[in-house]
Every structure is written in C-alpha cells, then in structure tokens.
DNA sequence: CTGTATCCGTGCCGATACTG
DNA sequence: CAGTATCGGCACGGATACAG
C-alpha cells in the first residue's frame, strides 16, 4: 500500500535539504556516484545500517528521482541502484558541504578527531583560496 | 542548565547537514546574511515561526558558530544576531541548494507550483552551463 | 539475495502560557 | 522586547523476525 506521497516543501532550499537529509542518504549517494550498486554491496559498504532502513532510504531517493532501481531477470534475480542525472547534480554540492564540514570541524570542534572515513578528500586542500 | 552539548557527526557531510538542517535555519540564515537582525525583526520576517522555536534555532546556530549574539546595554536592551564568517561560508552552498531545488521541482514536481517566496532567485538562470 | 511487517525509543517542533 | 517552561504529536530510524 503506497503511502500518500508526502509533499515536498515549497521553498527550493528546504526541498533540496529535505531530499538529501536522511541518516544515510549522503553516504548512499556517495557510493552510488561511483557506479551502479547492488543492495548487498551497499549493505556491505555500510555495515552499520539496517537492511530495512537502507531499503527505505533507497525507496525515498527513488521516489525523489535521485536513484533509479533496475531489476534484472536472472536467476537469482539481481537489483541495481543507479544515480540519475538529477542525483548526480548533487555531487558537487555534497562535496562543498563536505569541505565546509571539515572547515567547520577545524574551527569549531577544536580537538574533534575527524572520522577516518571515506566521504572526504584525502588532503584537506585549501578551501578559502 | 545547559544541555550536554550534543556531539556533531564525525563525517563532514553529515556534520554540515546536521548544522544547517532545522525547520527554519535556512530561512533564518538567509535573512541574517543581509545584515544583523533583532529578534523581533526576524519574528516579523517569519510570521509562521513560534518565538520559542526561533530562539531555539538561533541558540543552536550560535552554539555551532553560525551566528553571533550581541547584547547592547541600552534601554530597552537590544539584541542582535549576526552571521559569522563560518556562517557566511554557507551562502554559496545554500544558493546552490536553492538552484538545485528549483531544478528538481521542475523535473519532479511536475505541476508543483513553486512558492512565491523569498529564498530563491528572481529569474531561474541557467544552472547547467 | 531482496525485500516486508511490527514494535518502539527519541528528537524535533508547534501551541500555549508565563517572566524580567 | 527578549526569553523561559511545559506539554504533546508525530516522523525518523534502529532492532528483530519473517517471506518470496
């Protein structure tokens, strides 16, 4: 029973934020940007996420046109999630957010040890040119 | 009793998102970007928001270093909220989000009448150059 | 492997009333 | 004018068990 399709906010900024904020969406997007991924792959890439939640986030992103879900008639069946054009348009923005986040962590979180995580550039690089 | 100071996420993207997502934060930022604002001014600019919530959001943004709160010893006392350098660094990003949001609305929300709202450019302008 | 169904804690945020 | 206190709804997301 498909839910009533929650309306997105009218204001563009809020709309965009609504669409990309979800506990795991940025990370999922990050992985999907590098090519089509199977559910099990994504699950393996994010050990901490629950399958239910992973699927739920994927469903929302699909509904919002960020990713495309494709089922291949094989045995056993294979399902791939791919970033759409619209979704790819978020890549530079997410990168910018990432850089700002690092910047912010250095400025604010004094001794805030940054996570040794994937979703950030190797070398900080100068942000404010 | 100051709350335990919730730790921000370790991943830069999530950190950034956490900091800017809040029902009214983008709008507040938008207004504050155009210069220092008093509480009552902000309240007037956003009739829909509750005072309690407005203050709460401002408090968080202050704690996260996005805005600075200044009290002037006058009679009656005056309080101004100003965007910090860190906060100003978000302006281009929010603009990008806004543009992406419009783009998204056109692509997705077919007949989604865009709000006749402040937080978006007058003329769409070409996004994908 | 890919999904669904259920239960439930927690945080956000709105409404309302009150204070210096 | 600027701010606090309290209450309550509701969406989000985590745990777990089950199914095609």
pLDDT tens digit string along B2-15?
566 778 999 999 99
pLDDT grade for A4, boundaries at 50, 70 and 90? low
Residue contact A101–B27, C-beta within 8 A: no
Split into its structural domains, chain A has a count of: 1
B46 within a domain of the structure (yes/no): yes
Q: Which residues contact A88 (CB under 8 A, 6 or more apart)?
A: A33
A32 within a domain of the structure (yes/no): yes
Domain assignment of residue B79, given as a range: 21-113
Residues of chain B found within 8 Å of residue A14, distances taken between Cβ atoms: 26-27, 101
B9 within a domain of the structure (yes/no): no
B45 within a domain of the structure (yes/no): yes
Whichever domain contains A73, its CATH number is: 1.10.10.10
Look at residue A70 and give its three-state secondary structure.
Answer: strand
CA–CA gap between residue B65 and residue B71 (Å, rounded)? 17
User: What's chain B's Rg over C-alpha atoms?
Assistant: 16
Q: Can you tell me which residue has its alpha carbon closest to the C1' of nucleotide C6?
A: A52
Residue in B89, B99, B119 nearest the CB of A100? B89
Residue contact B16–A86, C-beta within 8 A: no
A55 within a domain of the structure (yes/no): yes
B70 within a domain of the structure (yes/no): yes
pLDDT at A126: 47
Name the helix (H) or strand (E) containing A79.
Answer: strand A78-83
Cite the beta strand spans of B41-101 per DSSP E: 67-72, 78-83
A54 within a domain of the structure (yes/no): yes
A16 within a domain of the structure (yes/no): no
Q: What is the DSSP letter of A104?
A: H
Q: B76-95 burial, b if ≥16 CB within 10 A, otherwise e?
A: eeeebbebbebbebbeebbb
pTM of the full structure: 0.86
């Amino acid at each position: 029973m498909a839910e009533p399709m929650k309306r997105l906010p009218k204001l563009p900024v809020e709309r965009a934020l609504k669409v990309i904020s979800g506990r795991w969406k940025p990370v999922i997007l990050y992985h999907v940007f590098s090519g089509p991924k199977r559910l099990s792959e994504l699950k393996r890439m994010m050990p901490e996420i629950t399958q239910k939640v992973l699927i739920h986030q994927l469903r929302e992103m699909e509904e919002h046109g960020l990713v495309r879900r494709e089922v291949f008639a094989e045995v056993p069946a294979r399902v791939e999630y791919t970033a759409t054009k619209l979704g790819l348009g978020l890549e530079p923005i997410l990168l910018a957010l990432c850089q700002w986040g690092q910047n912010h962590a250095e400025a604010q979180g004094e001794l805030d040890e940054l996570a040794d995580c994937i979703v950030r550039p190797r070398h900080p690089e100068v942000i404010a040119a």
